[in-house]
Structure 1
Amino acid sequence: MPEPLNVAVVDYDAGNTLSVTRALDKAGASVELTADPEKVLRTDAVVLPGVGAFGDCMKKLRDRGMDAACREVYRSGKPFLGVCVALQVFFESSEESPGIEGLGLLPGGVTRFKAAEGLKVPHMGWNELSVARPHPVLDGLDGEDFYFVHSYYPVPEEPSDVLGTSEYGTVFCAAAGRENMAAVQFHPEKSSRAGLKLYQNFLAWAREL
């Protein structure tokens, strides 16, 4: 049996770090929850969780020097997974926080759901994932239900960056990525068997990169 993959979960007071850490441990990783940018850069793979507003998350990342570390993780080719608001901060900007720059790893911005008859914002609850482009992280997960809590969603400039979609009044990007990076809007750690499968997929993909 291979040694467990060393995975850093970025600790920046983002809310769901402990539940993500526990889920990765259950998936078979050797997990370190760390606020140290140097440790993040030395590990085998990195997971960036996130709960809260776009601007608040970016401020917390900048205050800890983690914004630069995240960009370096991507540049280095290290396997990189974003969860929930992390998907949004991978983009350049958000309507939620005008004037605040995101990490800019993916071209595009983030927009708010438009309230429609019978649909409340935030979008909260279980929803089906449709895989838009085959990707190892989403292997075997087309048509599975995942747990969402969000009022905003990304609009990638490049259609090829969309890995998966869901629908809530409109079809929206629920997963995106390119090269060594992937991110999902939903909470795998709250999504039962399908969520565990996603984390297992990430670990398997990370070993291949």
Structure 2
Amino acid sequence: MLANKIVIINYRMGNVASVQKGFKKIGAETILSHEKNDIENADYLVLPGVGAFGDGMKNLKELGLIEILNNRVLHEKTPFLGICLGMQLLATTGYEFGETPGLGWIKGKVIKLSVPEKFRLPHVGWDDIEIKRDTLLLQNIPGQNFYFVHSYHLAPNDATVTTSICTFGQDFAATIEKGNIYATQFHPEKSQTSGLMVLKNFLMSKRHA
């Protein structure tokens, strides 16, 4: 794998170690860090995470990361991958345990899945996705079955950023793409061969730009 600097942002929201292992399986070395110097010099940025929207934003603020992330991703166009909570934090606003402003990179809101009684939340386990438009993340994947763990989802204002959907009582965005910003609601690091291909595809994004 090319010796690019891949920084997985460690902002006290869990799941970072398993994401690091996922990248290691495809031969990519990563750095777990919240240090600004590492983020400033990264070729690729990854924001994973499990937990509540408000806690995630609180930790990013307390670590002083919002300004540098805005600069690196929005202005310098560093390839960025959000995973699970990391995808949800891209929204304008989250409505989990109250109302919390998000990063605002993807206009939209994070709301609870609205499912019939026979569906239990959280949505946990393997589920199929349906590709809605061409996207780098899902090129050449061997299957469309991925592993999900969530009760909330990002509902973008602009439907064209949604590149695939999953159906669990309702349709929701499974992947999004907007310029250099990529995100998955599912966990690619837990999704076996197809998930590892998603991580590998993300590392092609600098060539794709």
TM bin (shorter chain): over 0.9
Q: Give the AA of the match of 1:94.
A: G
> Which blocks of at least 5 consecutive residues in structure 1 are unaligned?
none
In structure 2, what residue type is equivalent to 1:108?
G
User: Aligned letter for 1:47?
Assistant: V
Task: Find the aligned partners of 1:173 and 1:41 in 2 and give their Cα distance.
Answer: 30
Alpha-carbon contact 2:110-2:154 (below 8 Å) kept: yes
Residues 81-103 of structure 1 deviation map (CA, whole Å, 9 limit, x = unaligned): 00001111000111214331100
Moved more, 98-107 or 67-76: 67-76
Amino acid at match of 1:53: A
RMSD: 1.5
Q: In the TM superposition, what are the counterparts of 1:161-200 in structure 2 within 5 Å?
A: 161-200=161-200
Superposition map of 1:113-124 within 5 A: 113-124=113-124
Matched with 1:102 is: 102
Given residue 82 of structure 2, which amino acid in structure 1 is its aligned partner? G
The answer as to whether partners of 2:122 and 2:151 remain within 8 angstroms in 1 is yes
**Which secondary structure does the structure 2 equivalent of 1:4 belong to?**
coil
1:71 alignment partner in structure 2:
70
Preserved CA contact (<8 Å) 1:174 1:184: yes
State the alpha-carbon separation in 2 of the partners of residues 163 and 36 from structure 1: 32
Deviations 1:67-112 (A, max 9, x none): 2222122121111000001111000111214331100001010111
Is 1:42 aligned to 2:41, yes or no? yes
2:145 equivalent in structure 1: 145
Distance 2:105 2:170 in 1: 25
Cα distance in 2 for residues equivalent to 1:4 and 1:22: 17
Q: Deviations over 1:90-142 (max 9, x none)?
A: 00111214331100001010111124132001111111111111111111238
The one-character-per-residue Cα deviations of 1:14-51 (angstroms, maximum 9, x if unpaired) are 11001101111222223111110221121111101111
Change (3 A) 1:101 1:15: same
**Contact 1:130–1:143 at 8 Å: present in 2 too?**
no
Q: Residue type of the partner of 1:148?
A: F
Q: Percent identity?
A: 34
* CA distance, structure 1, for counterparts of residue 15 and residue 62 of structure 2: 19
Partner secondary structure for residue 129 of structure 1: strand
TM (norm. structure 1) is: 0.94
Moved more, 171-180 or 109-118: 109-118
CA contact (8 A) 1:129 1:143 kept: no
TM-score (norm. length: structure 2): 0.94
Q: CA deviation at 1:153?
A: 0.6
Give the C-alpha shift of residue 66 in structure 1.
Answer: 1.6
CA gap of 1:87–1:8, structure 2 versus 1, over 3 A, is same
* Post-superposition offset of 1:65: 1.1
Count of aligned pairs between the two proteins? 208
Aligned residue type for 2:13:
A
Q: How far apart, in 2, do the equivalents of 1:142 and 1:191 lie?
A: 11
Specify every segment of 5 or more residues in structure 2 that has no aligned partner in the other structure, as ranges. none
C-alpha contact (below 8 Å) 1:29/1:203 kept by paired residues:
no
